[in-house]
Structure 1
Amino acid sequence: MIKRRDFIQNSVLASALLLMPEFSFAAGLDTGKVSAFAKKLKPVGRALEMEGYYVWCNSPIYGPDGKVHLFFSRWVAKKGMGGWLNGCEICHAIADTPESEFKYVETILAPRGLGFWDATTCHNPFITELDGKYFLFFMGTSNGKTDTKRIGLATAPSLNGPWARPDEPLLLPGDTGAWDDHCTTNPAVVKHDGKYLLFYKSWNSKEYQESKHPTIRGNRKYGLAIADQPEGPYIKYSGNPVIDFSGKGDNAQMEDAFIWTENNSLNMICRDMGVYNHEYGLLMNSKNGTKWSKPEIAYYDAPHYINQPPPAPHLRKYGRFERPQILLKDGKPTYLFTTSQGGKYMTASPFIFKIEH
């Protein structure tokens, strides 16, 4: 991993923003309150850069061996950025510490081919330990298109497997016309008050098909499904969606949620998609998962923390951090794992922040 000092940005603007105690101001955008969380972030740098691959969706967990186990998605670089939807696999890597070298171990889940619900991709891994067993929630597609994205669940007695792979999805979309009739994706799961809460992203197919936005189609919202045991069945909350920013106008939305419990509260970190901009992260909290606080800024865009060379022409999401996932130790956030386009191969790789207390 490249040394931290090579990533710290030296611009006067970045320093000034860090000194602002409560608010961040961006030209032409709403003012957003800066969370206490954002002020604790210290960039470590890129990790797990793999020649010939895009690396995305990095979900970390401490193992019983004291090492950091990372479950991530990757696809061959020749497919371009769109390979996540048609040709992605989920892999396992291990490092001695969050700031040491991650080494690829094996591929856990790969597309199974014609006839399977996860025939064309395996993506969005989220690893967690619940009740002494390991659960790997993920998303698969059957035709390489967004309308067959479905959440699934693989289980294992150990982080090293063996992984029992599901023959059917864990959570299906809603009926035609429902807010979530297009797909289920981006799973985030937490145990709370004896129940298992599964948060998922979806949107409406008609909105998706009729969207006039050049790059963002539909309006992504988050729903909640609840189970008595981690394997399910998960029953959708009747008041869904629990997060809906469409009322703000300009197709404001969010995605990539990660949920954890701390200070008797549920906390969510996610990627902004138009609430303040399309480069920041958002932070919210809730007592029960159904009503969430007004979003604060969880982290900034990449230029706030690091200097990078100009992007290659094929990288259109350059300069932002996506898929935020938190490495917890004894229930406390210790490191923030994101993914970001760029790096020495001009593809994508994890970018890690230390959370200082």
Structure 2
Amino acid sequence: MTYILRICLSGVLLTALAKGKDTDDFNLSAIMQPVSEENIFYNEEFYNWGSGIVKDDDGKYHLIYSQMPKKHGFFCWLTDGIVSRAVADKPTGPWEHVEVVLEGRGDGHWDQYTVHCPKVYKFDGKYYIYYMSTNTGDLDLTPEQLEEARRAKWNKSDIRGMMRLNQRIGVAVADSMEGPWKRFDKPVFEPQLPIANMSNNVTVTQRPDGGYLMVIRGDQPDQPEGTILRMQAVLLADHPLGPWEMQPKPVVINYNSEDPEVWYDAERERYYSLYHAFGYMGMITSTDGLNWERAKNYKVSDKAYTKTDGTTVKVHRYERPTIYHENGKPLVMTAGIKQLDGDTHSLFIPLQQ
């Protein structure tokens, strides 16, 4: 009897240990593969930038991606960004542009200027595009003022500074990737502590309990005049359209980072989130979505990628990461690349299975 009892107690102990074991062993860097020309998506007239992939019910892959007219310069993402759609037979490309999906709606709308930083998802049979936009309130810009906002470095007191502070997150929803896309009269939420000033860089994942978790980027409050320190916060909702409730504890604080990409890893029973930290790509993790720490394999990449011919391509910007999952497995990492010569492309890195 004593022997049987010891076996039972040992089983309970082993189960408890198994539930509490550290599952943080995901190594994204180790599975990133070299890229070929078909993994690079380029446009002569537009800067192709960050992108996200979704698969429809017919097995077709759709890409939702940012574009900015080259004639206005790279920094026109705040004034003239558009969101386009491309299609492919594989999530690594090659991609074929189909249409412009979203752009600024003009006077009288909260998303008056630009549509930028999109993330696309399929939740419960519907498609959602989350995006950033901005406005100038009651101020009608002259052509000269608009040109200045497109190109000037921001200053708190100028028009570009105002448009930066007016950045908000919105969402469009459709029953098909071909649309039509329904947009709304208001952003999904207004900035509130722990972030300040504005909201940008949205990412969403479904929680294991069926709800939804969003990570966004804003400014850290109470910074000295002229100083920007970016930080990230988490919101929860029961539905992809909200209402979204801000959580009090920041995700990332006290050092610059942006462009989060969050997902729930069901196999490891934990969340992961990528971001770029102005020099490298990093990854953090959480078991509950509220308390975050650096992942065991934190550093994912420097500002460079490898091609199939063995060459290493160093780049000026390596941003806007997303991970495309299929059947719970990560298949592709996408990124926005600004080359050393100033041109850009969207990049699709195959992930080893």
Instruction: Sort the TM-score into its range (normalised by shorter chain).
Output: 0.7 to 0.9
Counterpart Cα distance in 2 of 1:241 and 1:36: 24
Structure 1 outlier segments of 4+, above 6 Å: none
Query: Aligned runs of 1:119-134 on 2, under 5 Å?
Result: 119-134=112-127
Partner of 2:243: 233
Query: Aligned runs of 1:116-265 on 2, under 5 Å?
Result: 116-143=109-136, 145-174=163-192, 178-192=193-207, 193-204=209-220, 207=223, 209-211=225-227, 218-237=228-247, 239-244=248-253, 246=254, 252-262=255-265, 263=267, 264-265=269-270
Counterpart Cα distance in 1 of 2:223 and 2:256: 13
Retained in 2: the 8 A contact 1:301–1:320? Answer: no
Q: What is the RMSD computed on CA atoms of the aligned residues?
A: 2.3
Retained in 2: the 8 A contact 1:147–1:183? Answer: yes
Residue 300 of structure 2 is aligned to residue 299 of structure 1: yes
Unaligned ranges ≥5, structure 1: 1-33, 212-217, 247-251, 273-277, 311-317
Please say which structure displays the higher CA radius of gyration.
2
**How far off its partner does 1:228 sit?**
1.4
Retained in 1: the 8 A contact 2:260–2:275? Answer: yes
Partner deviation per Cα, 1:135-186 (whole Å, 9 max, x = no partner) = 1111111135210110001000111111001111012112xxx442211111
Aligned partner of residue 257 in structure 2, secondary structure: strand
Partner deviation per Cα, 1:257-302 (whole Å, 9 max, x = no partner) = 1111112111111112xxxxx3221112111111112244453234
Q: How many residues align?
A: 296
Query: Aligned runs of 1:1-357 on 2, under 5 Å?
Result: 36-45=27-36, 46-143=39-136, 145-174=163-192, 178-192=193-207, 193-204=209-220, 207=223, 209-211=225-227, 218-237=228-247, 239-244=248-253, 246=254, 252-262=255-265, 263=267, 264-272=269-277, 278-295=278-295, 296-303=297-304, 305-306=306-307, 307=311, 318-342=315-339, 346-357=342-353
Partner deviation per Cα, 1:100-123 (whole Å, 9 max, x = no partner) = 321111111111122211111101
Partner deviation per Cα, 1:207-264 (whole Å, 9 max, x = no partner) = 27432xxxxxx11111111111111111111x232321x1xxxxx2211111111121
Counterpart Cα distance in 2 of 1:221 and 1:328: 26
Q: 1:197 to 1:303 in 2, by over 3 A?
A: closer
**How far off its partner does 1:92 sit?**
0.6
Counterpart Cα distance in 2 of 1:130 and 1:98: 19
What's the TM-score once normalised by structure 2's chain length?
A: 0.78
Aligned partner of residue 293 in structure 2, secondary structure: coil
Letter in 2 for 1:355: L
Identity %: 27
Aligned partner of residue 110 in structure 2, secondary structure: coil
Counterpart Cα distance in 2 of 1:319 and 1:299: 17
Retained in 1: the 8 A contact 2:34–2:305? Answer: no
Partner of 1:28: none
Letter in 2 for 1:261: Y
Q: 1:161 to 1:301 in 2, by over 3 A?
A: same
Q: 1:233 to 1:209 in 2, by over 3 A?
A: same
Unaligned ranges ≥5, structure 2: 1-24, 137-159
Aligned partner of residue 207 in structure 1, secondary structure: coil
The structure carrying a bigger helix percent of its residues is 2
Q: 1:109 to 1:198 in 2, by over 3 A?
A: same
Letter in 2 for 1:224: V
